[in-house]
Amino acid sequence: MTRWLPILLLAPLFAAVAAQGQPTRAEGSTLQNPALPDGDGRTTFLRVCSSCHAPEIVTHQRLNHAGWEDLVYMMADQGAVATDGELDQIIEYLSRSFPDEGNPSA
């Protein structure tokens, strides 16, 4: 019986930590965000780019394709975790959704 005591004491703790992890997932609130247009890459963008800062600091930017490409690779250098394919998906999504329309060279 005494062998099991530590496990019995720890089990509720693990359960509490696991339960707490869930509502704080980015998908919960930000997936409803109307400022984020639908499209391929939206979910990937939210998963990869909202772990360090709010997605809003990204979606306030307006950049051309090259600009988004630079920025996404810069964030990958900062530690954003994604495959090359996912980074491409994010670049396409951002340059489609938040283009720099005022810039004729875009």
Is the distance from CB of 33 to CB of 87 less than 8 angstroms?
no
Instruction: Give φ, ψ of 63 to 5 degrees.
Output: -135, 160
Stretch that binds ligand HEC, among 11-19, 20-28, 29-37, 73-81 (CB under 6 A): 73-81
Instruction: Considering only the stretches 7-15, 19-27, 30-38, 47-55, report the one whose residues sit in contact with ligand HEC under the rule CB under 6 A.
Output: 47-55
* Cβ 62 vs Cβ 98: under 8 Å: yes
Q: Give the number of other Cβ atoms within 10 Å of residue 91's Cβ.
A: 22
46 binds ligand HEC (CB under 6 A): no
Does the protein bind ligand HEC through residue 80 (CB under 6 A)?
A: yes
Which residues of the chain form contacts with ligand HEC (CB under 6 A)? 48-49, 51-53, 57-58, 61, 71-72, 75, 78-80, 90
